[in-house]
């Protein structure tokens, strides 16, 4: 492991949507996607002696990415928020060291926080990896190391 590639601070992590490169929101909190192997397959039989046995599934799931962001009023006024929902596109996450993580996904939900005096309004987005490109071909995520 190279210590020079270690991320010591989450600032600044940014998102970009290929279909909407000019969307106006400002990332405050970004939770990267993870990987999930799914529930184990039980393989216990009447020939087991002491333990229930399990096997892993063959397929993996890239879990949703979530962000909390500040936004401009145009985010709602020009229907940009509505257009983002359910539009499959390439999402690029740029990490603090300028490396990138790209994957195909769609915005599953957009939920504004309450507007409160003395607090900046925010919106939460849940971004669901689709793992398929525009031609419906299974497409793995790609990672590009820092320049």
By the 8 A CB rule, do 102 and 89 touch?
no
CATH number at residue 107: 2.40.30.200
The number of domains in the chain is 1
Would you say residue 143 has pLDDT above 70? yes
Rg (CA), the chain: 19
Predicted pLDDT of residue 1: 52
Q: Cα–Cα distances in Å, from 147 out to 18, 94, 95, 97, 143?
A: 21, 12, 12, 8, 12
Which residue(s) pair with 111 in the sheet?
A: 124
55 beta partners? 41
Summarised one tens digit per residue, pLDDT across range 90-126 is 999 999 999 999 999 999 999 999 999 999 999 999 9
């Amino acid at each position: 492991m190279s210590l020079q590639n270690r991320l010591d601070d989450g600032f600044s992590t940014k998102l970009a949507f290929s279909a909407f490169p000019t969307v106006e929101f400002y990332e405050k909190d970004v939770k990267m996607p993870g990987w999930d192997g799914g529930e184990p397959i039980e393989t216990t039989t009447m020939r087991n002696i002491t333990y229930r046995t399990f096997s892993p599934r063959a397929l993996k799931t890239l879990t949703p990415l979530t962000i909390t962001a500040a936004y401009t009023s145009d985010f709602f006024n020009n229907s940009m928020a509505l257009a983002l929902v359910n539009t499959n596109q390439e999402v690029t996450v740029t990490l603090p060291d300028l490396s990138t993580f790209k994957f195909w996904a769609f915005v599953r939900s957009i939920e504004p926080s309450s507007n409160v005096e003395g607090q900046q309004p925010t919106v939460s987005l849940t971004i669901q990896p689709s793992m398929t490109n525009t031609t419906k071909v299974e497409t793995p995520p790609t990672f590009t190391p820092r320049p």
